[in-house]
């Protein structure tokens, strides 16, 4: 599923795409700094290759994403290391996994979040950005964070934000989903 520049690298930089099926690594020589445009192109190429791989090996891809609110009404957002922008947490549904299990797993992995209420399915979207066969189940739920989410190879930043104080760089799709939430629909068919 669909996140930026995180400042200077402290250690040798790596490009890492989460998942057991694929990973890629770009190593720079000691002391060298990556060219932002080249690194961005490499990331885009790797992500596109993964989309092609998944399109070939899977008939249809299914993902889950959730608007996660805390008890103060703030929404939880993540900024990934491998794509620009801020997103609501989520990810793919793996073989043998239910959408509910995938959602619980992704919330735990991306934010140390546990649901305090059953998730409400708001819409099923076609995500043409990824492929013509990618679908996203979009939920709304209440959550509690068990511990702060520290940055790692997948998540650069994360946090709870008031809807009137969102961070810069919210992705267009995330903005559309938030607008749908605020007005309680109508919900589009395309992600």
Tell me what the mean pLDDT of segment 50-55 comes to.
73
Look at 55 and 112; give whichever has higher pLDDT: 112
Cβ neighbours for 163, distance < 8 A, ≥ 6 positions apart: 73, 74, 75, 178, 182
Cβ neighbours for 86, distance < 8 A, ≥ 6 positions apart: 3, 77, 78, 79, 166, 167, 169, 170, 171, 174
CATH number of the CATH domain containing 53: 3.90.79.10
Count the Cβ atoms, other than its own, within 10 Å of residue 91. 19
Cα dihedral value 4, 18, 77, 44, nearest 10? 30
The pair phi, psi for residue 142, each rounded to 5°, is: -100, 140
Look at 160 and 48; give whichever has higher pLDDT: 160
Q: Are 47 and 82 in contact (CB under 8 A)?
A: yes
In this predicted structure, the answer to whether residue 137 has a pLDDT above a threshold of 60 is yes
For residue 3, give its domain range.
1-191
The model's confidence at residue 152, banded by pLDDT at 50, 70 and 90, is very high
pLDDT in tens, 7-23: 433 333 333 333 433 33
**Mean pLDDT, all residues of the chain:** 83
- Number of domains composing the chain: 1
The pair phi, psi for residue 177, each rounded to 5°, is: -65, -40
């Amino acid at each position: 599923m669909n996140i930026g520049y995180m400042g200077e690298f402290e250690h040798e930089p790596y490009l890492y795409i989460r998942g057991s099926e694929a990973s890629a690594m770009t190593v720079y020589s000691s002391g060298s700094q990556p060219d932002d445009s080249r690194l961005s192109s490499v990331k885009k190429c790797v992500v596109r290759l993964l989309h092609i791989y998944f399109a070939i090996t899977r008939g249809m891809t299914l993902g889950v994403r959730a608007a996660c609110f805390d008890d103060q009404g703030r929404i939880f957002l993540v900024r990934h290391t491998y794509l620009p922008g801020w997103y609501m947490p989520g990810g793919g549904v793996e073989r043998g996994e239910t959408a509910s299990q995938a959602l619980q797993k992704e919330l735990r992995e991306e934010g140390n979040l546990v649901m305090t209420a059953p998730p409400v399915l708001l819409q099923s979207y076609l995500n043409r950005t990824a492929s013509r066969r990618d679908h996203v189940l979009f939920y709304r739920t209440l959550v509690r964070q068990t511990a702060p989410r520290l940055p790692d190879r997948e998540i650069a930043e994360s946090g709870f934000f008031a809807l009137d104080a969102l961070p810069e760089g919210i992705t267009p799709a995330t903005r559309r989903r938030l607008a749908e939430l605020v007005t309680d629909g109508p919900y589009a068919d395309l992600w």
